Amino acid sequence: QCQLNGLWRNDQDSLMEISVSRDNGDFQGQYLTRVTLSGGCAQISPLKGTQQQLGEGGWPTFAFTVRWDRFSNATTAFVGQCFVDADGKEMLTTTWLLREAAGSLEQDWKATR
For the chain, the domains span 6-110
pTM: 0.83
Predicted local confidence at residue 97, as pLDDT: 94
Predicted local confidence at residue 8, as pLDDT: 92
Distance, CA of 17 to CA of 47 (rounded, Å): 9
Helices (H), 1-113: 34-38
| Sequential pLDDT tens for the chain (113 residues) | 678 889 999 887 888 999 888 888 899 999 988 765 446 666 788 999 999 876 656 788 999 999 887 777 889 999 999 988 899 888 999 999 989 889 999 999 998 98
Q: Are 60 and 79 in contact (CB under 8 A)?
A: no
In this structure, whether the domain defined by 6-110 belongs to CATH 1.10.40.30 is answered with no
Q: Are 87 and 112 in contact (CB under 8 A)?
A: no
